[in-house]
């Protein structure tokens, strides 16, 4: 299945997922860690271990960048 991933503020990407792939697998496919994002389906967050069953998701980055050196 092909899934369109809209990373809020960063753009969209379409990726292929296999049957049984989870939202964590989907997040890794677009280059993020499941620990730094929340995946939203129809405006509600979904658990990272739930199988992907939709063709479009929004990804909200919770962690971005890092501290500047002192």
The beta-strand segments (E) located in 1-70 are 2-7, 11-16, 37-41, 44-45, 56-61
* Residue 16, domain member (yes or no): yes
* Residue 39, domain member (yes or no): yes
Range of the domain at 47: 2-61
pTM for this entry:
0.85
CATH number at residue 35: 3.10.20.30
Mean pLDDT of 51-66: 87
Q: How many whole angstroms from its chain centre is CA 50? A: 12
Mean pLDDT of 51-65: 89
* Residue 70, domain member (yes or no): no
Judge whether residue 11 has pLDDT over 70: yes
- How many domains is the chain built from? 1
């Amino acid at each position: 299945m092909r899934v369109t991933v809209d990373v809020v503020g960063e753009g969209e990407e379409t990726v292929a997922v296999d049957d049984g792939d989870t939202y964590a697998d989907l997040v890794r496919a677009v280059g993020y860690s499941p620990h730094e994002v929340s995946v939203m389906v129809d405006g509600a967050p979904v658990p990272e271990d739930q199988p992907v069953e939709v063709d479009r998701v929004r990804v909200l980055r919770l962690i971005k960048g890092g501290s500047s050196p002192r």
